Amino acid sequence: MAAAAPPPPPAPAPITLPEPTPSGHTLFTRIRLATAEDVPHIHKLIHQMAVFERLTDLFQATPAALSATLFPPNAPPPFTSFTVFLLELCTSPFPPSQNPHFTPRLKSLHLDLPIHDPEKEAFRSNASDANDDVIVGGFVLFFPNYSTFLAKPGFYIEDIFVRECYRRKGLGKMLLSAVAAQAAKMGYGRVEWVVLDWNVNAIKFYEQMGAQILPEWRICRLTGEALRAHAHVNL
Active site (catalytic) residues: 206
Q: How many Cβ atoms from other residues are within 10 Å of residue 33's Cβ?
A: 16
- 10 Å CB burial of residue 41 (0-12, 13-18, 19+) is buried
Distances (CA, A) of 17 to 13, 115, 155: 13, 31, 48
Q: How many Cβ atoms from other residues are within 10 Å of residue 157's Cβ?
A: 17
Phi/psi region, residue 210 (left: phi>0; alpha: psi -120 to 50; beta: rest), is left
CA of residue 115 relative to chain centroid, distance: 18
Cα–Cα distance, 38 to 32 (Å, whole number): 11
For every residue of 10-62, DSSP letters joined together read: PPPPPP-PPPP---SEEEEEEEEE--GGGHHHHHHHHHHHHHHTT-GGG----
